[in-house]
Amino acid sequence: MADPVTFEVTEPIAAIAAKARGRGLCPECTGRLVGRWGHGLTNPERAARLPRADPVAPGPRAVPCPVCGDAFDRLDVWAERAVRAAEGVEWHRFTCGSRWDPERLAAEEALWVEVGTAWGESARTAFNRELGKTIERRTGAAGGPERPDVVFLADLPVGRMEATPMPLFLAGRYRKFDRTLPQTRWPCRRCHGRGCDRCGGSGRTYPTSVEELVAAPFVAASGAEGTRFHGMGREDIDARMLGRGRPFVLELLRPRRRTLDLAALVGELGREATGRVEVDGLRAAEADDVVRVKEAAPEKTYRVDVSGAAPVGKVKEAVELAANRTIAQRTPRRVAHRRSDRVRLRRIVAARVIGDADGRFTIEVRTEAGTYVKEWVEGDDGRTEPSLASLVGCPLRVEALDVLEVHDEGT
């Protein structure tokens, strides 16, 4: 229920009105000098209640208002510009902001001092609010700071409206069955995507990625200009991602359509990426989900195929010794180019041998987040201590690695 109108013209308010006279202020800017006094009134309504605060007649003035440059008379024009700037884009919620000549804003603050008001409201704040109301009335869309589909920015000095579609977030889990797929787009290291001899002009190190396969139908349906892919960690390119899959958030940048038939698009994705990638549990998400996915540090369970010239009894003994203990891992050389070189302590939560035949062993291991499993098995020339190879007492080699589960419950 709306508050009743309160606006009492006290002595200090009357004194402010007296000092504001003869300055050629528009009704909006006059009322805004006491914009934070009382409530339930628009600023022009405040101006109308002030004693003989002139000139407060709405409409064209001989000289533009020195504070706002008559911007408040042009709200309908700006709302029209907003609608046009967002043409072809689906939006139901919006926020708006405005860029002002800094000298105008400074002059307004100087005016507050001159007239002695403690209740002035900034032209920019008021303009943004009034423009929001005007756009709401004109379109039926909802203005407000939460989860806007589009953000409008009125550039007053330039006279131009910008409309920026906000990203659309989708969350789900992916499984990966292809041992040649990186998780995200991987531009060529030499040319950074422009195309060169090394990458055969493609600009890529790998022809595609989980990101691109997952995103394709959603990019086509939404008309997005690009994507960002946020995985809850990532597996090696040659590792499969099985079980319930790995949580991710797909961010569609500058989408033109936001109402998507997710079930149909997941079906399309399933057909296009058969045998390579599958997606489950896809749902609409928010920017907060990106933080949740990036900050989670879940344990993982792996299945590792290992070869080595050791008797199975010896390997089983070593795996038992390795389970439920902490290892020290210096940054592996294969990732040293992107992670700082230091020693990290990681826990091997559980480990067991689940199969063996002719110098091949299959090991299931559950580890703390951030454990390098290949290095734990092979030792990485002593950079992981103790490694399984050091406990067995002979060299071991990882032949294949699968992630069986990302244990993200409760994260």
- The pattern of x and - marking residues 29 through 48 that bind Zn ion according to CB under 5 A reads x-------------------
Residue 106 · residue 11 · CB < 8 Å = no
**H or E element at residue 56:** none
Angle at 96 between CA 90 and CA 99, to 5 degrees: 130
Of 96, 114, 109, the closest CA to residue 156 belongs to 96
Binder among 26, 115, 150, 265 for Zn ion (CB under 5 A)? 26
Instruction: Provide the minimum distance between the beta carbon of 250 and Zn ion in the complex, in angstroms, as a whole number.
Output: 26
The DSSP bridge partners found for residue 367 are 300, 348
Q: Which of 16, 20, 56, 65 binds Zn ion (CB under 5 A)?
A: 65
Identity of the residue, 108 or 211, whose beta carbon is nearer to Zn ion in the bound complex: 108
Residue 35 or 148 with smaller CB distance to Zn ion: 35
286-295 burial, b at 16+ Cβ within 10 Å, e below that, comes to eeebbebbee
CA dist 175 and 238 (Å) reads 13
Q: Which is nearer to Zn ion, 46 or 330 (CB)?
A: 46
Query: Which 8-state DSSP code applies to residue 204?
Result: B
Cβ neighbourhood burial of 262 (10 Å; 0-12, 13-18, 19+) = middle
Q: Is 191 a binder of Zn ion (CB under 5 A)? A: yes
Q: 53 phi and psi, to 5 degrees?
A: -75, 105
Number of Cβ within 10 Å of residue 268's Cβ equals: 16
Tell which one of 20, 47, 68, 403 touches Zn ion (CB under 5 A).
Answer: 68
Q: Which is nearer to Zn ion, 137 or 190 (CB)?
A: 190
Report if residue 188 touches Zn ion, rule: CB under 5 A.
yes
Q: State the nearest-atom distance from the C-beta of 213 to Zn ion, in Å.
A: 21
Binding part of the chain for Zn ion, among 21-29, 80-88, 131-139, 252-260 by CB under 5 A, reads 21-29
Q: Which stretch binds Zn ion (CB under 5 A): 41-49, 196-204, 286-294, 356-364?
A: 196-204
Does residue 392 contact residue 231 with C-beta atoms inside 8 Å?
no
Asked whether position 391 contacts Zn ion by CB under 5 A, the answer is no
List all residues 6 or more positions away from 67 whose beta carbon is below 8 Å from its beta carbon. 25, 26, 29, 104, 107, 108, 111, 123
Distance in Å, CB of 343 to Zn ion, minimum: 35
What 3-state DSSP class applies to 293?
helix
Tokens of 36: 């934070």
Segment interacting with Zn ion, rule: CB under 5 A, options 5-13, 75-83, 193-201, 237-245? 193-201
At residue 25, φ and ψ (nearest 5 deg) are -75, 145
Instruction: Give the three-state DSSP class for 60.
Output: coil
Q: Which stretch binds Zn ion (CB under 5 A): 59-67, 146-154, 256-264, 330-338?
A: 59-67
Q: Which of residues 242-281 bind Zn ion (CB under 5 A)?
A: none
Q: Does residue 344 sit in helix, strand or coil? A: strand
Answer yes or no whether residue 105 interacts with Zn ion by CB under 5 A: no
Min dist CB 112 to Zn ion, Å, is 14
50 binds Zn ion (CB under 5 A): no
- Residue 127 or 372: which CB sits closer to Zn ion? 127
**Residue 196 touching Zn ion (CB under 5 A):** yes
Q: Is the peptide bond before 386 cis (omega within 30 degrees of 0)?
A: yes
- Counting contacts by CB under 5 A, is residue 20 touching Zn ion? no
Distance in Å, CB of 204 to Zn ion, minimum: 8
User: Could you tell me if residue 17 is left (phi over 0), alpha (psi between -120 and 50 degrees) or otherwise beta?
Assistant: alpha
Q: Which residues are catalytic?
A: 236
| Residue 199 is a binding residue for Zn ion (CB under 5 A) | yes
Of the ranges 105-113, 157-165, 190-198, 310-318, which one interacts with Zn ion (CB under 5 A)? Answer: 190-198
Copy the structure tokens of residue 157. 């000095």
Residues binding Zn ion (CB under 5 A):
26, 29, 65, 67-68, 188, 190-191, 196, 198-199
